[in-house]
Structure 1
Amino acid sequence: MMGPVLAACLLIILSTAWISQANEALCKKDGGVCSCNNNKNSVDCSYKKLTAIPINIPTDTENLKLNYNKLRELEPTAFHGLNKLTYLNLQWNQLQTLPVGVFDHLVNLDKLYLTSNKLKSLPSGIFDKLTNLNKLWLQNNQLQRLPNGVFDKLTSLNDLRLHNNQLRSVPEEAFDSLEKLKMLQLQENPWDCTCNGIIYMAKWLKKKADEGLGGVDTAGCEKGGKAVLEITEKDAASDCVSPNTTTAIPIGTMTPASVIYDDIHEIKVPQENFQKFLGYQEPDHLPTQPQCLMSISGYLGLMMSLMLTSAAILYVFHFLKKA
Structure 2
Amino acid sequence: MMGPVLAACLLIILSTAWISQANGATCKKDGGVCTCNDQTKNVDCSSKGLTAIPSNIPLETTQLRLNLNSLSKLSPKAFHHLSKLTYLSFDNNQLQTLPPGVFNHLVELDRLDLQYNELKSLPSKIFDSLTKLTLLRLENNKLQSLPHGVFDKLTLLEKLYLQINQLRRVPEGAFDFLSSLSDVTLYGNPWDCSCNDILYLSNWIREKKGTVSNIEAAECDGGTKAVLEITEEEAAEDCVYPNTTTAIPTTIITTLASSNDDDIPELPVPQENFQKFLGYQEPDHLPTQPQCLMSISGYLGLMMSLVLTSAAILYVIHFLKKA
Give the TM-score, by structure 2 length: 0.66
Residue 80 (str. 1) matches residue 71 (str. 2): no
Q: Report the counterpart of residue 134 of structure 1 in structure 2.
A: 134
User: Equivalents in 2 of 1:80, 1:240: separation in Å?
Assistant: 40
| Structural mapping, 1:203-214, within 5 Å | 203-210=203-210, 212-214=211-213
Q: Kindly provide the amino acid, as one letter, of the partner of residue 67 in structure 2.
A: N
Residue 222 (str. 1) matches residue 221 (str. 2): yes
Look up the SS of the partner of 2:202 in the other structure.
Answer: helix
Q: Kindly provide the amino acid, as one letter, of the partner of residue 224 in structure 2.
A: G
Residue 67 (str. 1) matches residue 67 (str. 2): yes
Higher Rg: 1
Q: Kindly provide the amino acid, as one letter, of the partner of residue 228 in structure 2.
A: L
User: Equivalents in 2 of 1:243, 1:29: separation in Å?
Assistant: 50
Look up the SS of the partner of 1:196 in the other structure.
Answer: coil
| Structural mapping, 1:175-194, within 5 Å | 175-194=175-194
Q: Kindly provide the amino acid, as one letter, of the partner of residue 169 in structure 1.
A: R
User: Equivalents in 2 of 1:194, 1:188: separation in Å?
Assistant: 17
Q: Kindly provide the amino acid, as one letter, of the partner of residue 44 in structure 2.
A: D
Look up the SS of the partner of 2:197 in the other structure.
Answer: helix
Contact 1:47 1:69 in 2 (8 A): yes
Contact 1:29 1:58 in 2 (8 A): no
**Offset from partner CA, 1:244-283 (integer Å, 9 cap, x none):** 379xxxxxxxxxxxxxxxxxxxxxxxxxxxxxxxxxxxxx
Contact 1:30 1:57 in 2 (8 A): no
| Structural mapping, 1:1-323, within 5 Å | 27=27, 32-210=32-210, 212-223=211-222, 225-244=224-243
Contact 1:193 1:223 in 2 (8 A): no
Look up the SS of the partner of 2:228 in the other structure.
Answer: helix
User: Equivalents in 1 of 2:217, 2:65: separation in Å?
Assistant: 29
| RMSD of aligned Cα (Å) | 1.8
Look up the SS of the partner of 1:88 in the other structure.
Answer: strand
Structure 1 position 226, deviation (Å) = 1.3
Look up the SS of the partner of 1:57 in the other structure.
Answer: coil
Structure 1 position 143, deviation (Å) = 0.2
Q: Kindly provide the amino acid, as one letter, of the partner of residue 177 in structure 2.
A: S
Contact 2:137 2:161 in 1 (8 A): yes
User: Equivalents in 1 of 2:155, 2:27: separation in Å?
Assistant: 35
Question: Please, which runs of 5 or more residues in structure 1 have no aligned partner?
Answer: 1-24, 247-323
Structure 1 position 184, deviation (Å) = 0.3
User: Equivalents in 1 of 2:82, 2:244: separation in Å?
Assistant: 37
Cα gap change, 1:142 to 1:82, in 2 (>3 Å): same
Structure 1 position 225, deviation (Å) = 1.7
Structure 1 position 142, deviation (Å) = 0.2
Q: Kindly provide the amino acid, as one letter, of the partner of residue 236 in structure 1.
A: A
Q: Which moved more, 1:236-245 or 1:179-188?
A: 236-245
Contact 2:26 2:56 in 1 (8 A): no
User: Equivalents in 2 of 1:236, 1:31: separation in Å?
Assistant: 60
Give the TM-score, by structure 1 length: 0.66
**Offset from partner CA, 1:190-223 (integer Å, 9 cap, x none):** 000000010111101110005x210111210014
Count of paired positions: 221
Structure 1 position 31, deviation (Å) = 5.4
User: Equivalents in 2 of 1:142, 1:102: separation in Å?
Assistant: 20
User: Equivalents in 2 of 1:188, 1:136: separation in Å?
Assistant: 17
Q: Kindly provide the amino acid, as one letter, of the partner of residue 35 in structure 1.
A: T
Question: Please, which runs of 5 or more residues in structure 2 have no aligned partner?
Answer: 1-24, 246-323
Look up the SS of the partner of 2:64 in the other structure.
Answer: strand
User: Equivalents in 1 of 2:190, 2:148: separation in Å?
Assistant: 19
4+ residue runs of structure 1 moved beyond 3 angstroms?
28-31, 243-246
User: Equivalents in 2 of 1:245, 1:107: separation in Å?
Assistant: 27
User: Equivalents in 2 of 1:245, 1:95: separation in Å?
Assistant: 16
Q: Kindly provide the amino acid, as one letter, of the partner of residue 181 in structure 1.
A: L
**Offset from partner CA, 1:6-48 (integer Å, 9 cap, x none):** xxxxxxxxxxxxxxxxxxx972698511000111100000000
User: Equivalents in 2 of 1:223, 1:75: separation in Å?
Assistant: 38
Relative contact order, CA 8 A, sep 6+: which one is greater? Answer: 2
Look up the SS of the partner of 1:229 in the other structure.
Answer: helix
User: Equivalents in 2 of 1:102, 1:224: separation in Å?
Assistant: 37
User: Equivalents in 1 of 2:244, 2:147: separation in Å?
Assistant: 12
Q: Kindly provide the amino acid, as one letter, of the partner of residue 63 in structure 1.
A: Q
Contact 2:92 2:117 in 1 (8 A): yes
User: Equivalents in 1 of 2:105, 2:95: separation in Å?
Assistant: 20
